[in-house]
Amino acid sequence: MSSYREDRRADRAAERAQDREDRRLELDARLDAERLRAEEKRKDADAKRRQEQADRKAKLAEKQAKKAAAAAKRAKLVRWLKANPATLFVGFVMVASIVPAVLSQIGALTGASVAAPMAGLLAAMLEGGAWAITFMGKQAEDSGREPRKYRIGTWAVATVAAAVNFWHGWEQYSEHRWVALVLGASSLFAIYIWDLKTHGSHGKTKAEKQAEKDRARHVAARRKHHPQIVEAAVKLQSALPYGALDDEAAFAAAWRIHTGAEPGLSAELYATATNAVLSLGSAFELADNVREELLETGFKAARLNPFPELTQSPEAQAGIGSNTPEKSPEVPRQTAPRGRSEAELKELLPDALAVAAELVAEGRQISASALAKRLQIRREDAVVLRDLVVEQRRLHVA
């Protein structure tokens, strides 16, 4: 009996132990599930946070890129305005001249009982025709063709338009006739301003004009003092293909043919110099040895030569040695020009930052070659300037 009770107690104890173990296992499973859920939530939260950070960085980068592009455009516009103030004001004056001219022509035509649409078309034909011919002439000039006929056509059409405006102003403003002159000039002034802009700055400088005058005087003096040699030079040029021999080379060749010496030298010049020395009491003493006489004569002639850098060596003139003139001593090479100073590079830094912003907006790398090309500076200076730009941009980002 006691054995049965003990077995029952043992069974119940085992059942309780099993229940406890089952509950423990269930609790552990529940805790593991909660840990897994918490870990998944944490991972989801981290992923969401990283995505939000990435989105914020992308938006910030896009915003900075837009700002850089806008700054680059502004800097480019400012640089253009600084470099082309005349173009800006020329455009303003042209608009201020063309608009009143067109309105005056429309008023003149409508005043002559022409329908408003037709008056507008005819006015556009006059002013627009003048500018169409003007731009065709500019295109022809840029391509290397003669623009004279286009310029004549431009001024002819503009003169007709000016006559219409003048006639309209003369009748419309009878109490103030001077207004007719202003209206007539409005069709011509814009053309005149454009002509000055496109051709006025292409003329020759004072130095070029003076050089042309000096060259013309030089050619005239050459023709006066050396007519035979000039004629021979012209014959040489005509005998060779066109452009094979320029004027100076042809004259030098003709001089050598006629005198046997370099340009500017001749036997007569040597004789004149020798006679000048003889008139002072100096004379050559002739000896029995003819070779010694030639040698002494050659050295004296070399000393008397007014153009020593163009003549032969004394030994060659005396009949000995080589006929090849001695080589002039080599001129030491000059050292390369030094680059810009640190202060000059710092002055260029704002322009370099603007160019760097343009390069970033264009999706290009900030390189020394790009800075050198756009700022028109030496590559060595551009390398130093690039490092300064990169440092400034890093400080700005930080």
In sequence order, the 6+-apart residues with CB closer than 8 A to the CB of 185 are 162
Kindly tell me if the per-residue pLDDT of 197 is higher than 60.
yes
Least confident of 86-90, 234-238, 382-386: 86-90
pLDDT tens digit sequence for 137-163: 888 887 878 888 888 888 888 888 888
Question: Tell me, what's the pLDDT at 312?
Answer: 47
Question: Tell me, what's the pLDDT at 339?
Answer: 65
Kindly tell me if the per-residue pLDDT of 337 is higher than 60.
no
Q: Across the chain, what does the average pLDDT equal?
A: 77
Kindly tell me if the per-residue pLDDT of 294 is higher than 70.
no
Kindly tell me if the per-residue pLDDT of 297 is higher than 60.
no
Question: Tell me, what's the pLDDT at 330?
Answer: 46
Question: Tell me, what's the pLDDT at 220?
Answer: 92
Q: Could you please report the per-residue DSSP string of 311-368?
A: S--HHHHTT-S-SSPPPPPPPPPPPPPP---HHHHHHHHHHHHHHHHHHHHTT----H
Q: Directed axis angle between helix 342-361 and helix 368-375, to 10°?
A: 100
Question: Tell me, what's the pLDDT at 284?
Answer: 40
Higher-pLDDT residue of 12 and 330 is 12
Question: Tell me, what's the pLDDT at 305?
Answer: 54
CA distances for 387 relative to 20, 346, 395, 398, angstroms: 74, 12, 12, 17
pLDDT tens digit sequence for 27-69: 888 888 888 888 888 888 888 888 888 888 888 888 888 888 8
Higher-pLDDT residue of 76 and 280 is 76
Give the amino acid at 315.
E
Question: Tell me, what's the pLDDT at 202?
Answer: 57
* pLDDT (mean) for 348-376: 80
pLDDT tens digit sequence for 320-330: 344 444 444 44
- pLDDT band for position 86 (50/70/90)? confident
Least confident of 54-63, 184-193, 195-204, 276-285: 276-285
Kindly tell me if the per-residue pLDDT of 318 is higher than 70.
no
pLDDT tens digit sequence for 207-264: 888 888 999 999 899 899 889 999 988 988 888 888 888 888 889 888 888 888 888 7
Kindly tell me if the per-residue pLDDT of 290 is higher than 60.
no
Tell me the torsion sign for CA atoms 262, 266, 272, 275. Answer: positive
Q: What is the pTM of this model?
A: 0.41
